[in-house]
Amino acid sequence: PRIPGNKQAIIFLKKKIFTFSTLSRVTGINQRQLQCYSSGVKKPRKKQIRRIEDGVKLIALELSSITLK
């Protein structure tokens, strides 16, 4: 089943697909704040969720553009 976008973004944080530092640089959201969202200590607002989603998509786009020879 498809997971709604906002939950997918949080799952990326929980599974540690990439570092909080990387996502922090891309989104502009403080690294400690991202850790709080990941652990469930705090719940991100819709605006923050959108920034996380956009950041995850940007990182994925950059990774998918890599060509190995």
8-15 average pLDDT score: 65
Between 13 and 41, name the one with better pLDDT: 41
9-35 average pLDDT score? 83
The pTM score is 0.72
* Residue of higher predicted confidence among 11 and 57: 57
Query: pLDDT value at position 58?
Result: 92
- Give the pLDDT score at 54: 92
The rounded distance, in Å, linking the Cα atoms of 31 and 34 is: 5
